[in-house]
């Protein structure tokens, strides 16, 4: 089962995934898949630090990083649940904010499997900037661009059946809300 988490930088995706992984790993074989951990991802991260990529190159490299992660999962086929900290939709909304066309980005990612369940953790651009700190790697987008990214997310979440979660709530409340949705989904679909 592929479960994805989308949202602006600093929306709490990584913390949420860690909490969910801890809660579910005693009963399920769980894998967390994050950007920047493959060979391509490491090159991409270093290039982003130097601000050396065009939007097209970012789209291609993020797609290659994602494909490496999917290939590894397909080779091992050892997990009940795979949590993706960002998936195709972040590629769409962030690159759209840099002027690329959605259809081109979707075509680039057309071989990625459809997620089984998806969440969008919603915070404002101001909150994203406020939460940004030097403890973790983030591209520092200007407020106007983050507002555009959020607007793009809000536009696509309904058509893509992403579940919108209020990212301004306490972390524990968010974790419990999402965990309940996941467990109810398991019961309804008999997937696990």
- pLDDT (tens digit per residue) in 50-93: 888 999 999 999 999 999 999 999 898 889 999 999 999 999 99
- pLDDT (tens digit per residue) in 139-181: 788 999 999 999 999 999 988 999 999 999 999 999 999 999 9
Domains of the chain: which residue ranges? 2-174
Specify the CATH superfamily of domain 2-174.
P-loop containing nucleotide triphosphate hydrolases (3.40.50.300)
User: From CA 100, how far away is CA 38, in angstroms rounded?
Assistant: 24
Higher pLDDT: 149 or 49? It is: 149
pLDDT at residue 136 greater than cutoff 90: no
**12 phi-psi bin (left φ>0, alpha ψ -120 to 50, beta other):** left
Residue with tokens 């467990």: 183
Residue with tokens 């109810």: 184
């Amino acid at each position: 089962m592929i479960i994805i988490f989308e949202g602006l930088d600093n929306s709490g995706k990584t913390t949420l995934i860690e909490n969910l992984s801890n809660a579910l790993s005693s009963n399920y074989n769980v894998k967390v898949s994050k950007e920047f951990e493959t060979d391509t991802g490491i090159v991409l991260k270093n290039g982003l630090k130097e601000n050396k990529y065009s939007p097209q190159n970012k789209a291609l490299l993020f797609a290659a990083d994602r494909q490496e992660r999917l290939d590894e999962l397909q080779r091992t086929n050892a997990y009940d649940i795979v949590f993706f900290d960002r998936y195709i939709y972040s590629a769409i909304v962030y690159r759209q904010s840099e002027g690329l066309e959605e259809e081109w980005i979707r075509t680039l990612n057309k071989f990625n499997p459809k997620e089984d369940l998806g969440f969008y953790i919603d915070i404002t651009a101001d909150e994203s900037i406020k939460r940004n700190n030097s403890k973790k790697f983030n591209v520092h987008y200007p407020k106007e661009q983050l507002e555009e990214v959020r607007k793009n997310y809000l536009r696509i979440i309904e058509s893509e059946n992403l579940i919108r979660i209020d990212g301004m709530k306490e972390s524990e409340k968010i974790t419990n809300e999402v965990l309940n949705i996941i467990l109810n989904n398991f019961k309804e679909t008999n997937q696990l």
